[in-house]
Amino acid sequence: ASLALAGGAGLITCLTFVWFSAPDLALTQLSVEVVTLVLLLLGLRWLPRRIVQDDEESLKATLQARGRRLRDLLLAVAAGTGMSALAYAVLARPQTNPISSYFVDRALPDGGGTNVVNVILVDFRGFDTFGEITVLGIVALTVYALLRRFRPAAESADIPRQQMDQDGGIPDAPDIKSTVPAGSMMVPAVLVRLLLPIAALISVYFLLRGHNQPGGGFVGGLIFATSVILQYMVGGVYWVESRSRLNPQNWIGIGLLSAGIAAVSAWLAYKPFLAALAWDVALPLIGHVHVSSVLLFDLGVYMLVVGSTVLVLVALAHQSLRAQRKAAAELQAAAAQTGEA
C-alpha cells in the first residue's frame, strides 16, 4: 500500500508537469517511477515477514506498534505539509527577472538545440550531469557488491507458492535451468519478448531526438531498462542470461568513457571542458547531417542508465537463484534420506 501511494504521488507529479507544459520532465518522472517501483517490489521480496508476538506480549507489542505508527504518521504529515507550503511559496512568488529567459534565448545559439531542458543538462550544466552519472554508476556497483554477500532472512528464502508446481499438495522445487520457469504464463511471456525490440527502437528514438524534442539519453535508457526488467519478470534469470549478451558492468564503463570523450573533445578545438562541438556532414543518398558531440555525451548517459539499472536488477534477481538452489538441495537431501530408509 505504501509503494502504491508513493507511485500515485509520482504519477500526480507527472501529470502536474504535463499540465505546466513540461513534457520532458513528465517523461523522466514517469520512467523513474516505473523503474523505481519495480525494483522496490523486487527488494521487498527479501524482507523478513512480520514476527507474531506471543499472547502475553501481544497487547504491549500492539500498543508499541500503534504508537510508532502514530509517530510516523505525524512526522509524515508535518514533513509533507511543510514541503508543500514551501513549494507553493516559491512557485507563487512573483518573478521580476527570471533566469529562465537566458537559457531560452541562448539554448540554440550556444548549445545547438531547441530543447532547453536537454541543452541545460548536457551543455550549460554538463559538468554537474557528468558528476551525477558517475555517482549513479558507483552506487550501482556498490549495491551489486553488497548484494553479492547478502543472505536473506530464513523465512523469506522459501520459494513463493506462485513459483512452485503443486503435485498432490506437496510443493516441488522448479528446475532452475528450465526453459520455461514454473508458474509462468506463455502468452504474456511471448508478448513481452516481442516488446523488447520495439522498446529498444523507441529508446533509441528518444535518445536521438532529445536535443531538439522531448527525450534524451536518460529517458531512453530508462525505457530500455524497463523492457529488460520485464524480460526477467516473465522469463526468469536463467532464460534471460542464457540468451542475453548484455553485460551491465561494461555498459557502465563504456558509458562513462563515452561521456568523458565528449567532454574532453572540446579541448581539441581550444574550447572549455564539455563545450559542444558541431559539424555538418554531407553524406551520399542521405544529404546533410548535423553531428554534435552532445550526442556522444547523451549516449554515455543512455548506456550508464541502462547498465546501472540492469546491474541492480541482476543483483536482486540472483537472490531468487539462491532460494531455488536451497529448495532443490533440501528436496534432494530429503529424497536421499527417504531412499536410505
pLDDT at residue 324 tops 80? no
Here the cell at position 323 is 532460494
End-to-end CA distance of the chain: 48
Q: pLDDT, tens digit, for every residue of 49-99?
A: 665 555 556 777 777 888 888 999 999 899 989 998 998 888 788 877 778
pLDDT at residue 251 tops 90? yes
Query: Of residues 326 and 304, which shows the higher confidence score?
Result: 304
Residues 163, 182: contact at Cβ < 8 Å? Answer: yes
Element (H, E) at 217: helix 217-235
pLDDT at 278: 76
The model carries a pTM of 0.78
pLDDT at 169: 39
Q: pLDDT, tens digit, for every residue of 208-242?
A: 888 888 888 999 999 999 999 888 888 777 778 77
pLDDT at residue 173 tops 50? no
pLDDT at 152: 62
Mean pLDDT of 148-174: 53
pLDDT at 322: 58
Find the length of the chain: 341
φ, ψ (nearest 5 deg) of residue 188 = -60, -35
Q: How confident is the model at residue 138 (pLDDT cuts 50, 70, 90)?
A: very high
Q: Where are the domains of the chain?
A: 106-340
pLDDT at residue 196 tops 60? yes
> From CA 37, how far away is CA 47, in angstroms rounded?
16
> From CA 29, how far away is CA 50, in angstroms rounded?
32
pLDDT at residue 288 tops 50? yes
pLDDT at 153: 58
Q: Output the average pLDDT for the chain.
A: 79
Pairing assessment for the beta strands 287-292 and 278-283 based on DSSP bridges: antiparallel
pLDDT at residue 108 tops 60? yes
CA nearest 246: which of 193, 183, 316, 306?
306
pLDDT at 304: 94
pLDDT at 245: 78
What b/e string do you get for 98-116 counting C-beta neighbours within 10 Å, with b at 16 or more?
A: eeeeebeeebeeebbbebb
pLDDT at 64: 81
| Amino acid found at 5 | L
pLDDT at 57: 60
pLDDT at 172: 44
Mean pLDDT of 187-203: 88
How many percent of the chain have pLDDT more than 70?
A: 78
